[in-house]
Structure 1
Amino acid sequence: MKVEFVDSQRKEHGGQPVLQVLEGTPAQIAPSTYYAAKSRPESARAARDRELTEKIKRVHEANYNVYGARKVWAELNRHGIEVARCTVERLMREAGLRGLPRDKSPRTTPPAPETGRPTDLVERDFTAPRVNELWVADIT
């Protein structure tokens, strides 16, 4: 992240002045660290992640962008690409890929707007002055 920042400012200010300005700040980076990061070859994990991300994108697009990590992982394994499910989840998250969530179960008895609701005849006062004076029921 620090290396990308220095690169973004390098064209305008130069590399060494940007590194000098960052000295003494929480974003400080040693010049040797910066130049080592620039010349270092890509790690094996980064290379595999890049290749897997392309395959994941192809599987996701081939299935109308509805497959989530579980189904993408199963599809990759069916094609002989051995990869852990957590790796597929991580790479999909980093690539901004998501499957479509399953719908909630349908509500089977929606109330019709034209049906009348029973009125509250006791006006929420459930105290009876004597026995058998007030009867209430609730059918749920």
Structure 2
Amino acid sequence: MRFAFIAKHRNIWPVAWLCSALDVSRSGFHAWLKRSPSTRSRHDEVLVTAIDRSFKSSDRTYGARRVWHDVLAEGLSCGLHRIERLMRQNGLRARPRRRGLPKDTGERAAVSDNLLDRAFEAAAPNQKWIADFTYSAPRPGGSGVHMTGMH
């Protein structure tokens, strides 16, 4: 971690200053620069390409477990935690699939005939019934539907 920080910032500050501030030797830093990548880091690079391919083919919806199964199916061996770590380091975070609206079947509810034709007054009780439904947020212990009516 320290050597990577020095390598990233060596064009801003002198290497000697950075090495002394981070308490590492300059010779150790230069040896780290010339050293070839380890077997694990080379295998991680192979895994990252397979992870990226699986993740993008799933339209960025697969999490670590599904990507891990795809990587195993390709013949590469690794553990689930390694896949999780590599996905986290490379910023591969699954997003949930969008749930669409319910499919429109084309059927419509039947509309009743207008029998009253806006003549709401009745000569006697129980001859004409109308109702108004108002939907609101439910209250504790009650329903969200309130019905008011005239008769």
Please tell me whether residue 84 in structure 1 is matched to residue 66 in structure 2: no
Give 1:139 shift: 5.7
Q: Structure 2: give runs of 5+ residues left out of the alignment.
A: 99-132, 144-151
Measured in 1, the distance between the counterparts of 2:60 and 2:138 equals 48
Give 1:64 shift: 0.6
Match of residue 16, structure 2, among 19, 29, 46: 19
- Please state which structure has a larger fraction of its residues in strand: 2
1:114: which partner in 2? Answer: 134
1:98: which partner in 2? Answer: 93
Identity of aligned residues (%): 30
Give SS of 1:96's match.
coil
Match of residue 49, structure 2, among 50, 54, 59: 54
Measured in 2, the distance between the counterparts of 1:94 and 1:82 equals 19
Tell me the number of residue pairs that the alignment of Structure 1 and Structure 2 aligns.
108
Q: 1:115 to 1:82 in 2, by over 3 A?
A: same
Measured in 1, the distance between the counterparts of 2:55 and 2:15 equals 41
Give 1:2 shift: 3.0
Q: Report the TM-score when normalising by structure 2.
A: 0.59
- Residues 3 and 32 in structure 2, CA contact (< 8 A), matched pair in contact too: yes
Measured in 2, the distance between the counterparts of 1:51 and 1:90 equals 14
- Residues 19 and 29 in structure 1, CA contact (< 8 A), matched pair in contact too: no
Measured in 2, the distance between the counterparts of 1:118 and 1:95 equals 45
Give SS of 2:30's match.
helix
1:43: which partner in 2? Answer: 38
User: What's the RMSD between the two structures over aligned residues?
Assistant: 3.0
Measured in 2, the distance between the counterparts of 1:117 and 1:94 equals 44
- Please state which structure has a larger fraction of its residues in helix: 1
Give SS of 1:114's match.
strand
Q: Report the TM-score when normalising by structure 1.
A: 0.63
Give SS of 1:67's match.
coil
- Residues 66 and 100 in structure 1, CA contact (< 8 A), matched pair in contact too: yes
Q: Structure 1: give runs of 5+ residues left out of the alignment.
A: 104-112, 120-137
